[in-house]
């Protein structure tokens, strides 16, 4: 996806219809508990990359279901997919989640 935050956040500028459609598409890809957990599992895996074979058991879903969710995240530009041997390996697209977060709201200081 292009980076919606290039043109300000949702609340700093009036969102155009095409920008709204694009941001909505990306949010829809994220708006699923299994897909959010997959992103979290991939990010926390050694080297921030995980084989589909590592993701099935922690999620408690079938491999075809996990593969479907991973495809939605790849198609949305949130994960990369690299086939090596018999397995596909998934990693976060650098900056993709930050771009979505930045399109929703301005960064705020971390209170911790």
Residues that bind its own copies (CB under 8 A): 9-15, 17, 20-21, 23-24, 27-28, 30-37, 39-41, 43-44, 92, 97-98, 100-102, 104-110
Find the shortest distance in angstroms from Cβ 65 to its own copies: 15
**Of 58 and 81, CB closest to its own copies:** 58
**Of 10 and 74, CB closest to its own copies:** 10
Cα angle value 98/100/92 (rounded, 5°): 55
Residues 72, 34 contacting (CB under 8 angstroms): no
Find the shortest distance in angstroms from Cβ 47 to its own copies: 14
Q: How far apart are the C-alpha atoms of 9 and 15, rounded to whole Å?
A: 8
**Of 27 and 53, CB closest to its own copies:** 27
Find the shortest distance in angstroms from Cβ 63 to its own copies: 19
Residues 52, 87 contacting (CB under 8 angstroms): yes
Q: How far apart are the C-alpha atoms of 26 and 76, rounded to whole Å?
A: 6
């Amino acid at each position: 996806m292009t980076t919606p935050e290039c043109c300000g956040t949702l609340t700093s500028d009036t969102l155009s219809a095409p920008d709204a459609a694009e941001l909505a598409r990306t949010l829809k890809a994220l708006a699923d508990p299994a897909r959010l957990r997959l992103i979290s599992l991939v990010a926390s895996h050694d080297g921030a990359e995980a084989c589909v074979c590592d993701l099935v058991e922690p999620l408690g879903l079938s491999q075809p279901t996990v593969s479907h969710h991973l495809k939605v995240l790849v198609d949305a530009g949130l994960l990369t997919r690299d086939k090596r041997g018999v397995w596909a390996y998934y990693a976060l697209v650098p900056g993709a989640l930050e771009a979505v977060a930045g399109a929703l709201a301005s960064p705020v200081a971390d209170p911790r």
